[in-house]
Amino acid sequence: MQKRLLKKEKLEFIQNTLNHLYPETPIPLQHKDAYTLLIAVLLSAQCPDERVNKITPLLFELADNPYDMAQLSVDIIRDIIRPCGLSPRKSLAISQLSKILIDKHNGKVPQDFQLLEELPGVGHKTASVVMSQAFGVPAFPVDTHIHRLATRWKLSNGKNVEQTEKDLKRLFRKDVWNKLHLQIIYYGREFCPARGHDLEKCIICKTIN
């Protein structure tokens, strides 16, 4: 019978495994600056990153900054982003937030959680991704992959994403949050999916549970 890992050993094993598998953590969404990342993350809600990466070049060819985006009609934005789903809501949010960035923030994406979350279509997770990946501010965005794995690995009780975020921030050092959240996403997609989970291939689940 396998010896149960102590909590500290469990956390170390998770981090060491993820560091070995994913020493580099490129951001899955293609972008060139904070604005294009913000738009890409907004589009990724309930939409796979691969599809977002096919759509954003078409959108950014017309407008890759708030000034150009504000000149586009909501209908044009909606027609381009339609494959990403929720296009009526997302297109309106993109148009409105672009105008707000111009009016209130000199055309720049604010480096502030509260100001980001005040923008249309921008929730806490989107703000966290932008703060961590565009500005390097420690954050732990929790998506469905991270929420699922944190529950499977018994790092959180899985009640909701807000609780999962608090639990993960408490368990792991602040200086690893930005890299770790991407590593967990990569691991979830490759080894620990929601369906068809193969315990023999999933070294973390096999070892710590």
* Residue 179 tokens, joined: 């890299």
Are residues 28 and 17 in contact, defined by beta-carbon separation less than 8 angstroms?
no
Domains with residue ranges and CATH for the chain: 7-26+140-208 (1.10.1670.10), 34-133 (1.10.340.30)
pLDDT at position 95 is 98
pLDDT at position 153 is 95
Instruction: Grade residue 9 by pLDDT with cuts at 50, 70 and 90.
Output: very high
pLDDT at position 2 is 47
40/153 Cα distance (integer angstroms): 29
71-80, 91-100, 193-202 — which is least confidently predicted?
Answer: 193-202
183-193: average pLDDT: 95
Q: Please tell me which residue in 49, 143, 166, 169 is annotated as part of the active site.
A: 143
Residue-wise pLDDT for 72-92, tens only, equals 999 999 999 999 999 999 999
pLDDT at position 158 is 75
Question: With left for phi above 0 and alpha for psi between -120 and 50, is residue 109 left, alpha or beta?
Answer: beta
Question: What is the torsion angle, in degrees rounded to the nearest 10, for the CA atoms of residue 41, residue 115, residue 32 and residue 145?
Answer: -30
Q: What's the CA angle centered on 139, arms 137 and 143, to 5 degrees?
A: 140
143 in catalytic set: yes
Quickly count: other Cβ atoms within 10 Å of residue 83's Cβ: 13
Instruction: Say whether pLDDT at 1 is over 60.
Output: no
Q: HSE (CB half, 13 Å, CA atoms) of 19? A: 8
Residue-wise pLDDT for 22-70, tens only, equals 999 999 999 999 999 999 999 999 999 999 999 999 999 999 999 999 9
- Residue among 175, 167, 202 nearest 188 (CA): 202
pLDDT at position 159 is 85
Q: What is the pTM of this model?
A: 0.92
pLDDT at position 3 is 52
- Residue among 55, 25, 26, 52 nearest 41 (CA): 52
* Residue 111 tokens, joined: 């480096």
> In the chain, how long is the greatest CA-to-CA distance?
65
198 in catalytic set: no
Are residues 83 and 51 in contact, defined by beta-carbon separation less than 8 angstroms?
yes
Q: Please tell me which residue in 64, 90, 125, 167 is annotated as part of the active site.
A: 125
